[in-house]
Amino acid sequence: MSKSDASSERESVLACTDCLDPADAFALIGNETRLAILEALWAADDRPVAFSELRREVGMRDSAQFNYHLQKLLGQFVVGSEDGYDFKHAGEKVVRSVIAGSFNEHPTIDPFPVEGSCVACGGPLEARYRDERLAIGCRDCGHGHGEYGFPPGGLNDRTRDEVAAAFDQRVKHLHCLAADGVCPECSGRVESHVVEDDDCCLGATVRIDHECVQCGHTLCSAPGLRLLDHSQVVGFHRERGVSLDERPYWTLPWCVSDEYTTVVDRDPIRLRVRVPLEGDELRATLDADLEVLETTVESAD
């Protein structure tokens, strides 16, 4: 398939003859009853949910009025069948956003200490939360170790240590998806580019910029984050008694400092990331698409 054919196919898949304007779609759910219907579907033990059961859960006696609001949701947020009603993906996204607190919660928490030490000065690290973003940084010199979106709902019912652990897992998964070409926001196609400058939340002069061609979502990462789930890197650590799953990304210098990343070629682009551990060192060579081309291990022995 040629590039133009692929582009045409993508356009035909996204073409829609009966889609709502985004403003109209949001207007549909700007109603207390319709939000209650979506929340009742979410709370149901089993789906599809029968009309009578759904109306009972919402607490509306007037069947005709309830049906009016339900019909407004059909096709865009809810799907109906002989067995009852269930979510479409957009309906689930609305409820998940409400649960995450992005629409109605604006919490703030005091900075709290986290595991590890600063890669720049060795000082203590702390987490700061503001404007739905959590940042890891050095308390002494201010050097950043990553700042990413973290929905307010992620703070609920968690200790500070649990918040830090959840943030670590979220960041790892976000970058794995983006590096694999999948947008963590809309599942659209992500393009990744190697950038050499110091304008990054990680303070790195060599970074990877990920951008979704569909929704425009962007993500900045150190090249080393791509290696967190690579089999050779995981095995290298396991053989030395270390589980990467249990190590927060900000405690791994090769994930937060460009000191361990070298541009070894520019035509085509090639990166080499050094991963030291207990005197040994794994060296991974990556191409512009963040594919691992080669790994070697230099032993201290």
Q: What is the pLDDT of residues 209-224, one digit of tens each?
A: 999 998 888 988 889 9
Distance of CA 27 to the CA centre of its chain: 27
Asked whether the beta carbons of 149 and 132 are under 8 A apart, the reply is yes
Distance of CA 253 to the CA centre of its chain: 21
109 phi and psi angles, rounded to 5 deg = -135, 150
Question: Which residue do the tokens 């995450």 mark?
Answer: 100
Could you count the other beta carbons within 10 Å of the beta carbon of residue 19? 12
Which residues of the chain, if any, have pLDDT below 70?
1-29, 97-106, 198-204, 300-301
Which of 249, 259, 232 lies closest to 172, judged by CA? 249
pLDDT at 24: 55
Domain ranges of the chain: 22-100, 225-299
For the chain, how far is it from start to end, CA to CA, in angstroms?
Answer: 51
Half-sphere exposure of 160 (CA within 13 A, CB side): 13
Pick the CATH number of 22-100 from 3.40.630.30, 1.25.40.10, 1.10.10.10, 3.40.50.1100: 1.10.10.10
Question: Which residue do the tokens 């967190």 mark?
Answer: 228
∠ CA 189-285-300 to the nearest 5 degrees? 140
pLDDT at 27: 64
Q: What is the pLDDT of residues 237-282, one digit of tens each?
A: 999 999 999 999 999 999 998 889 999 999 999 999 999 999 999 9
pLDDT at 10: 41
Contacts of 180 (CB under 8 A, 6+ apart): none
In which element (H, E) is residue 36 found? helix 32-43
pLDDT at 94: 74
pLDDT at 232: 96
In which element (H, E) is residue 117 found? strand 109-117
pLDDT at 184: 87
Asked whether the beta carbons of 287 and 269 are under 8 A apart, the reply is yes
What CA–CA distance (Å, rounded) separates 153 from 99?
A: 6
What CA–CA distance (Å, rounded) separates 82 from 73?
A: 17
